[in-house]
Structure 1
Amino acid sequence: MGGVEMESRKAEEWASQLQCWSLQLINCFAFKPEFLPSVCKPEFLIKLPGMWGGLVNENSPAGIGLLRTICHHKLGRGPVASCPGIIEALCNIAQSSDDWQYMAIDCLLWLLQDPSTCHKVIDNAVPALVDLAEISVLGDHKKLGDSILNVLQECIQSQGTGRNSLSNRTKEQIEELLNSRQRLKWEKSMPKEDLHIKQAAALVVKLEGNSLFSSGNISGAALKYSEALALCPVRSKKERVVLYSNRAQCHLLLQQPLSAISDATRALCLHNPLNRHAKSLWRRAQAYDMLGLAKESLLDAILFINECSQSNDPDLSLRQNRVPDYAERLVKKQMRAAWLFREAAIKHGGVHCEGDAGDIYGQDTDDSEWETASESDIGNDGRDDMGADDDDDDGAWKNDGERKDKYDKPLMKEP
């Protein structure tokens, strides 16, 4: 019943379920220190971040759950820290919309707190954790951002004891975060008039950035948004969401996906509710797509579509279909790329090979996923708290229809 397609789907569901059950069984053994050497084989560990329950078994932590159990024990942290690919994958999961995001953060924090592994992972882990430091609550985890800050502060302090050797860049990132928290304390005692002046100054610079963006000066716009962030009070979270998200869009157009992921993640962490700022989700989905990280891109794109479908924006309510076509295409592409049997299908010449069913970047497709400025204005969650007179929470997206052909498509064709 249902033919070959239904049989294939059921087979995939069962294979995914069996994988999750197997990982859960191994997880039980991983709680026992005597079994950890057998579990912590490099060739097995490196595959764990890619083992996930998929959309069918979303309630299973799968590979990341096993990694968390391994990292909880000192005997397990050593082998994990010795695999740079695992640390990179943990950072990607931590900066994603994965339901098990907190598990990746736990792993990174435990690795940093262990003196024997800290020096191996600190330069790779710190950039991701700094971006996540504004998280207040993540599921049952309260004050997760404060926990991140405390661990990073310990890393700075331990440098003086000779336990860790921080690169200049890593040290700068941690100190920037600490200075930001200090600014927040100062602002609490600052007169309201002074805060309003800073807000107004940041708004002026932001509008200058919007103007530069509209004229096609993307690099100049990014610099203006950075300047506005330096002026904007730390407590003005809604405005900082907009500024980070705007700058993420600039990084996308400048072909800088890592910087785009960083800024989009910061915007999503500042936003209330967490990980629900639609434009930042879409921008990060595109950035992960540029890096070939299908699962992370897929999860962000799905959440973006969810935000579209639930939007109360009056402009969207006039549309028959609230889900943009470009978002559907990206989801389909990433579902193929993250397909459980994809490698086997490619190896044996199956239908789910590279390029199957076309590529959303194909030249025959007029609506690329870059053409999202006007289409993805799905609400005003990031509306200015400065009393700005922008109709949209993101002025850099205005009049996008005039800009699409100017630099969106040409930028995609450049190397």
Structure 2
Amino acid sequence: MLKFDEPQCTNPSCFFCSMKETNPFRRRSKLAAIFKEIPRTESKDHVLVLSGLWNIAMSEPDDPEFPSLGLFECMSKLIRKSIKNSDWLLKDQNIFIPYYAAHIIGSYVMNKEDLAARAVDSKAFVVPALLELLRGKISWVEQRAAARALGHLASHEKSFEVVSLFEEEIVKLSMEIATSSLTNVYRSFLGVEDSERLKYHCDLLTRGLGGLETENQKAEEWGIQLQCWSLYLLNSFALRVNRKSPGGVGLIKTLCKTEMGRKRVSEVREVIERLCDLSRSSDDWKATALDTLLLLLKDSNVRVAQIVLQDYHKIKYSGLKMNSEEAHRSVENLWEIRVERKKKEKLMSETELEERRKMVKSLKKQGKKKFQMGLVKEAMEVYTVGIDLCPLDMVRDRVVLYSNRAQCCLLLKQAEYAISDSTRALCLSSVDDPHGKSLWRRSQAYDQKGSTRESLMDCLAFVDQRLKYSNTKRIPYYAAHMISKQMSATWGFLGIDSKTEKSDG
């Protein structure tokens, strides 16, 4: 029986032949040359090479060999070529190339930070290339691969700096994709006639296996993945910028850096109230919450000021729909009141100021007496008069007046007022030596409102302050009870154990 030799490959730049080279030095040299040549040449075999590289990248994502030989530069150039040259993209099977290229990048930067750092090197230029795909320059299929790759790049310390140069646009695009990806996939693929579907989409989804049902299931799966990868990318920014972010505060701040994000966040009253609570608590993340509220307040198109102004005793606006101009005018009025008060006090004679000081001392005593008699509303009114008359230089007295009025609000079940007053007292007291009673009263107010985490943080700060200055060095029973209560309420696995028991039963 005659044996015929297989036809020999005559292409000196054949990727598959180079992979078979036994000499490691010659092999690497050939592959490096091929990666440089592919973007500059045209060949029907390029899509086969990309498909092979995709399989290798998926199975061996941590192998640094190909990235060290110029793979990232090659993939980046191919993506940019796909965007700029539509004639080339639609020729032969080139339409598959940008999808494979983005996926190859994403696989190699998935686990290893050093590979991610190599990918964002100035020579590789992968981030701008991937960003073009994320913008939807080709289709949602490439967009999915780009979101995956950028999400992995944003998750590494060494590569995040380069990705963050495009933060504003990436965050905006990620939000848009997360909210519209499923609709987009349905309108462009699932919801159209079979004949109108892009053939290369069908081929990518099914790999030639399965019928229409498999195709639809895969398209739905990919649409959900596109949404998930865009959220992952968004969250990577939040975690990088804000480190660990309990309750998603860092993510909310990141969202509020864009116009659309501020609009969406401002529409959810619970989120705004959560930010207000956090910004007034002893939580380590109060600064992030404050920054987020400032981003919202600076946007003239956002209507959240009426909630934020509760801290300034503008609750009378509650229930009214103020436009942004009215809200900002209210803020300006408050500032003017503070400035005007300083001006007035400067114009007062020392005799007038001394009269006020004596009156405030008397009002403090009157308020305390009425409170002890159970006349809580009357006591609150007296404290209010005292606050209005108290000169700005009587800081300690103002602390006590606000704190005592907060106690009255607590008894009257006015938690928001109590939080606001105790916050004012704490702002007036020293950061290193906060007013203990105000911490405890605000903890109670948060508990009354149902804000368990904020209540816990204030209670812990209260205990810390008390142990620092108390001779007994013992935690008061009432504080220990509050800590136990809030620890139980904020436990991450709350309710899971009971659900498990029910399912086991």
Query: TM-score when scaled to structure 2?
Result: 0.50
Is residue 164 from structure 1 mapped to residue 324 from structure 2 by the alignment? Answer: yes
SS in 1 for 2:324: coil
Residues in 2 aligned to 1:264 and 1:116: alpha-carbon distance in whole angstroms: 31
Residues in 1 aligned to 2:441 and 2:433: alpha-carbon distance in whole angstroms: 12
Deviation sequence 1:259-296 (CA, Å, 0-9, x none) = 11111111111111278211000001001111111100
Correspondent of 2:464 among 300, 306, 310: 306
Is residue 344 from structure 1 mapped to residue 496 from structure 2 by the alignment? Answer: yes
Contact 2:313/2:417 (<8 A) preserved: no
CA separation of 1:346 and 1:293: change in aligned 2, threshold 3 A: farther
Correspondent of 1:107 among 265, 285, 292: 292
2:377 counterpart residue number: 219
Is residue 60 from structure 1 mapped to residue 244 from structure 2 by the alignment? Answer: yes
Shift of 1:70: 2.2
SS in 1 for 2:430: coil
Q: Aligned AA for 2:309?
A: V
Is residue 278 from structure 1 mapped to residue 436 from structure 2 by the alignment? Answer: yes
Residues in 1 aligned to 2:425 and 2:392: alpha-carbon distance in whole angstroms: 13
Correspondent of 2:266 among 73, 81, 100: 81
Contact 1:269/1:275 (<8 A) preserved: no
Residues in 2 aligned to 1:175 and 1:38: alpha-carbon distance in whole angstroms: 38
2:411 counterpart residue number: 253
Contact 1:237/1:270 (<8 A) preserved: yes
Is residue 262 from structure 1 mapped to residue 452 from structure 2 by the alignment? Answer: no
1:90 counterpart residue number: 275
2:65 counterpart residue number: none
Is residue 36 from structure 1 mapped to residue 219 from structure 2 by the alignment? Answer: no
Shift of 1:65: 2.0
CA separation of 1:197 and 1:80: change in aligned 2, threshold 3 A: same
Contact 1:126/1:174 (<8 A) preserved: no
SS in 2 for 1:115: coil
Deviation sequence 1:156-191 (CA, Å, 0-9, x none) = xxx9xxx73537xx9667634531332023323433
Residues in 2 aligned to 1:345 and 1:38: alpha-carbon distance in whole angstroms: 35
Is residue 326 from structure 1 mapped to residue 486 from structure 2 by the alignment? Answer: no
Is residue 210 from structure 1 mapped to residue 368 from structure 2 by the alignment? Answer: yes
Residues in 2 aligned to 1:285 and 1:251: alpha-carbon distance in whole angstroms: 13
Residues in 2 aligned to 1:334 and 1:101: alpha-carbon distance in whole angstroms: 18
CA separation of 1:171 and 1:35: change in aligned 2, threshold 3 A: closer
Residues in 2 aligned to 1:345 and 1:36: alpha-carbon distance in whole angstroms: 39
Residues in 2 aligned to 1:66 and 1:26: alpha-carbon distance in whole angstroms: 17
Shift of 1:213: 0.9
Residue pairs, 1:83-162, within 5 angstroms: 83-117=268-302, 120-128=303-311, 130=312
Correspondent of 2:487 among 320, 335, 351: 335
Q: Aligned AA for 2:326?
A: L
Residues in 1 aligned to 2:249 and 2:308: alpha-carbon distance in whole angstroms: 16
Contact 1:247/1:263 (<8 A) preserved: yes
Residues in 1 aligned to 2:397 and 2:332: alpha-carbon distance in whole angstroms: 23
Q: Aligned AA for 2:249?
A: I
Of the structure 1 ranges 268-277 and 234-243, higher mean CA displacement relative to structure 2 is found in 268-277
Correspondent of 2:398 among 240, 243, 253: 240
**Number of residue equivalences:** 280
Residues in 2 aligned to 1:67 and 1:271: alpha-carbon distance in whole angstroms: 30
Residues in 2 aligned to 1:211 and 1:261: alpha-carbon distance in whole angstroms: 23
Q: Percent identity?
A: 34
Deviation sequence 1:288-307 (CA, Å, 0-9, x none) = 11111110000000000001
CA separation of 1:171 and 1:32: change in aligned 2, threshold 3 A: closer
Residues in 2 aligned to 1:238 and 1:310: alpha-carbon distance in whole angstroms: 20
Residue pairs, 1:381-392, within 5 angstroms: none
Contact 1:268/1:275 (<8 A) preserved: no
Correspondent of 2:389 among 231, 237, 242: 231
Deviation sequence 1:60-118 (CA, Å, 0-9, x none) = 3442222222212334222212222211111111111111212111111111211222x
Deviation sequence 1:193-233 (CA, Å, 0-9, x none) = 32111111111111111110111111111111001111111
1:13 counterpart residue number: none
Query: TM-score when scaled to structure 1?
Result: 0.60
Contact 1:257/1:291 (<8 A) preserved: yes
Q: Aligned AA for 2:459?
A: A
SS in 2 for 1:342: coil
Contact 2:168/2:257 (<8 A) preserved: no
Correspondent of 1:297 among 455, 460, 467: 455
Residues in 1 aligned to 2:486 and 2:408: alpha-carbon distance in whole angstroms: 23
Residues in 1 aligned to 2:313 and 2:481: alpha-carbon distance in whole angstroms: 29
1:408 counterpart residue number: none
Shift of 1:345: 3.4
CA separation of 1:105 and 1:35: change in aligned 2, threshold 3 A: closer
CA separation of 1:177 and 1:236: change in aligned 2, threshold 3 A: farther
More helix by share: 2
RMSD over aligned Cα atoms = 3.5
Contact 1:64/1:104 (<8 A) preserved: yes
